[in-house]
Amino acid sequence: MNNKFSVWLSVLLILTVVFVVWDYYLLFRELNSTKGELIKTTAEVTKERREKQRLWQEKQNLESELSTTKDQLEAIKVELENTKKELDIVNQKLSQEKENNAVLLKEKQRLEERLHSLKELKKAIQEVKLDIRQQKIQQYLLRKKQQEEIDAQELALGNRGFLIKNGQSLYRSKVKIEVRPTN
């Protein structure tokens, strides 16, 4: 019995050792597989980090570009508003010029009609003479007013006809010096 027991014990011990070795083998295989997966995962994580860094840098570049584009867009909007204002001004001037042109065309037509009529032509000549006379009168009055202003300024600067100012004579004395030879 002892012998049977020892055999059983030996078999049990051998089976235990085989089981432990087998378990060790399986664990070792699983460890190697896990190490391989860890290396792959580490490589993927590194790759993802690089991709994340690249995407972050690209995001920063795009944000910078977006900011620049917004600034340019604002400048273009301001320029567009200024251009619209200028266009409105030009359109107003154009409409004024068209109105002036229409008035001038009517005036031209009226004058042409007057030139073709002798009576109207005489009337036009009288009007022109009257205008010329009025202009001459206005020029005369303007010159007279300017001369009065000049006279007033000279009077303010002058001595009002007095011969002495501040104790000194203002009258130019005439000294005649004659040189005669003595014989």
**In the chain, domain spans:** 117-152
- The average pLDDT across 43-47 equals 93
CA gap 71, 62 in Å, rounded: 14
More confident residue, 49 or 162: 49
Q: What angle do CA 90, 95, 98 make, to 5 degrees?
A: 125
Tell me the three state secondary structure of residue 170.
coil
CA gap 129, 107 in Å, rounded: 19
CA gap 11, 16 in Å, rounded: 8
Q: Which DSSP state fits 151?
A: H
37 pLDDT above the threshold of 80: yes
What pLDDT is recorded for position 165?
66
7 pLDDT above the threshold of 90: no
- The average pLDDT across 148-163 equals 75
What are the tokens at 141? Answer: 């009055």
Residue with tokens 């378990």: 23
Mean pLDDT estimate for the chain: 87
What pLDDT is recorded for position 123?
84
More confident residue, 118 or 62: 62
10 pLDDT above the threshold of 90: no
Is residue 114 within 8 Å of residue 124, measured between CB atoms? yes
Tell me the three state secondary structure of residue 164.
strand
Q: 171 CB contacts (<8 Å, ≥6 apart)?
A: 163
What pLDDT is recorded for position 113?
78
Is residue 135 within 8 Å of residue 129, measured between CB atoms? no
Q: What is the pLDDT of residues 54-84, one digit of tens each?
A: 999 999 999 999 999 999 999 999 999 999 9
What pLDDT is recorded for position 75?
94
> pTM for this structure?
0.37
